[in-house]
Amino acid sequence: MNLVLSGGTVVTTLDPPTVTSADVTISGGRVSAVGRSTASDDDATLDCAGCVVIPGNVCAHHHLYSALARGMPYRLDPPQNFVQVLQRVWWRLDRALDPDSVWLSAWTGGADALLSGTTTIVDHHASPNAVEDSLDGVGSALERLGARAVLCYEVTDRDGPDRAAAGLEEHRRLVKAMRPLQAAMVGAHASFTLSEETLAECVRMAGELDTGIHVHVAEDEADERDSLARFGKRVVERLAEAGALTDRSLLAHCVHVDQREAALIHEAQAWVAHNPRSNMNNRVGWAPVAALGNRLALGTDGIDGDLFAESRTAYWRAREADASVGPEWAIARVAASARLAGALCGDPLLGRIEPGAPADLVVLDYDPPTPLTSQNLPGHWVFGLSSRMVRDVLVAGETVVRDHRLARLDETELRARGREAAEALWRRMDEIDAHPFEPVGAAG
């Protein structure tokens, strides 16, 4: 049976911005036609009059494991820098996770993403005291919700060699039992918590699994200082020499890369995930976005799953620094995130609404107050659209959000379970000290 999204204003692609009035016909999980529908009586119809239909957004860098941190108490001395944020907050939270809270974190963060119009999540997972089967937990929660995902485990030496080895092995388990709508990368934390041996193992695993490496790069100056002190080279040079910089690598942040590193990234055609809200929240600085090229995608770094909010902030932060930046730059970043996901999932039409493309679609309750055209879509995006307008969401043709609510399961019960798990998680965190791991290299 076909499903016809009828009577909407359809954004067929964000790059270049293209708007048309059309019905969208879906069959077998894919878009089969865009234009005047010739629906038969057997076809189901979703009335989209007065709505805008867009390709589903992609979050290019997420940490679903942090979803139960919202509103958690903090009782240690306030962190003074980024490394202390990790030591006192995130490296305590990740060690407090157990299999149940891993599942509920992924469910909570995944639900938030879908309800915000994000259909694909590129996740970076860490749960050092519950490594084994953790990606299966994340994958199972996202499968239940109906989201598309690219998963990996954050390999690091900060919790000792056994956990580094377990983190690596977790990728093999993931690939052996891969769920539909999911793909794998090899996750690595960041240069400053990786030995030469462990980094080499990550590169070897990426080769074995035929995928790329997803790693934090120069999020804070401390990452560069550590690499210079330990190896006499900058982070991206280190990654390139280790074989970790390819056209399938995904580098999160890149705030402190210099021109030579930006050139290496460009040469390798690696992807970069820009996370402006997280960077502002952690006071790590602003990435040199102009130098990072057209493979610059957008992530939320665990803040939430809302790419409307992230792309707006990306625009305003870039605009504050450079008056020549326009809204079209921001939505080209959203388009780049979809191209990244398309490359990782082997589905190059992801992020477009055209025949053959996967039917990952979002229906926005947006009856524009001014004319909406291909030319001015970027202005509507940055100044008008928001996740509160997300009415319906489809992933691979399946309705996963219907009329602002999750369609496939009862939210109420799982939200109650999530709140209970959060309280227990916060209690366990209270028993865990700041992480002792320190990067090398003194602050300048």
Binding site for Zn ion (CB under 5 A): 252, 301
With respect to Zn ion, which residue has the nearer C-beta, 65 or 381? 65
Residue of 51, 49, 4, 3 whose CA lies nearest to 23: 4
Amino acid sitting at position 424 = A
What minimum distance in Å lies between the beta carbon of 86 and Zn ion?
Answer: 10
Nearer to Zn ion, 220 or 301 (CB): 301
Preceding omega of 16 cis (within 30 degrees of 0): yes
328 vs 313: CA distance, rounded Å: 13
Closest separation between CB of residue 287 and Zn ion, Å? 13
The CB-of-223 to Zn ion minimum distance in angstroms stands at 12
Q: Which residues contact 420 (CB under 8 A, 6 or more apart)?
A: none
Which residue spans within 93-200 are E strands per DSSP? 118-123, 148-151, 182-184, 186-190
- Tell whether the torsion through CA atoms of 401, 407, 413 and 414 is positive or negative: negative
Cβ distance to Zn ion smaller for residue 44 or 280: 280
Closer to Zn ion at the Cβ: 261 or 301? 301
Distance of alpha carbon 144 from alpha carbon 122, whole angstroms: 17
Q: Which residues contact 358 (CB under 8 A, 6 or more apart)?
A: 29, 30, 31, 148, 347, 349, 350, 396
Q: Shortest distance, CB of residue 398 to Zn ion, whole angstroms?
A: 29
Backbone angles phi and psi of 361, in degrees to 5: -130, 150
Nearer to Zn ion among residue 301 and residue 360 (C-beta): 301
Distance of closest approach, residue 284 Cβ to Zn ion, in angstroms: 11
Q: Which residue is nearest to Zn ion (CB)?
A: 301
Q: How far is the CB of 124 from Zn ion (least distance, A)?
A: 6
Is the CB of 8 or the CB of 305 nearer to Zn ion?
Answer: 305
Closer residue to Zn ion, CB minimum distance, 23 or 301: 301
CB 90 to Zn ion: min, Å: 9
The nearest distance, CB 190 to Zn ion, in angstroms, is 9
Cβ closer to Zn ion: 202 or 252?
252
Which residue number, 26 or 83, has a Cβ lying nearer to Zn ion? 83
Token pair 């915000």 is found at 116
Tell me whether residue 263 or residue 309 sits nearer to Zn ion (CB atom).
309
Alpha carbons 399 and 145: distance in angstroms, whole number: 10
Least distance (Å) between residue 278 CB and Zn ion: 7
Strands 250-253 and 213-217: parallel
Residue 358 β-bridge partners: 30
In whole angstroms, the minimum distance from the beta carbon of 369 to Zn ion comes to: 37
| Shortest separation between residue 115's beta carbon and Zn ion, angstroms | 22
DSSP category for residue 155: B
Q: Strand, helix or coil at 224?
A: helix
Inter-CA distances, 226 with 81, 186, 219, 244, 379, Å: 15, 22, 12, 18, 42
Phi, psi at 370, each rounded to 5°: -135, 165
Within a 10 A sphere around the Cβ of 68, how many other Cβ atoms?
Answer: 27
429-440 in b/e burial notation, b at 16+ Cβ within 10 A?
beeeeebeeebe
Residues in the chain, overall count: 444
**Strand 148-151 to 213-217 pairing:** unpaired
H/E stretch holding 265 reads helix 259-268
Nearest alpha carbon to residue 314 among 283, 279, 265, 341: 279
- Two tokens at 389? 């307008």
301/392 with CB nearer Zn ion? 301
What's at 365, amino acid-wise? D
Query: CB-wise, 65 or 315, nearer to Zn ion?
Result: 65
To Zn ion, the closest distance from the beta carbon of 254 in angstroms equals 12
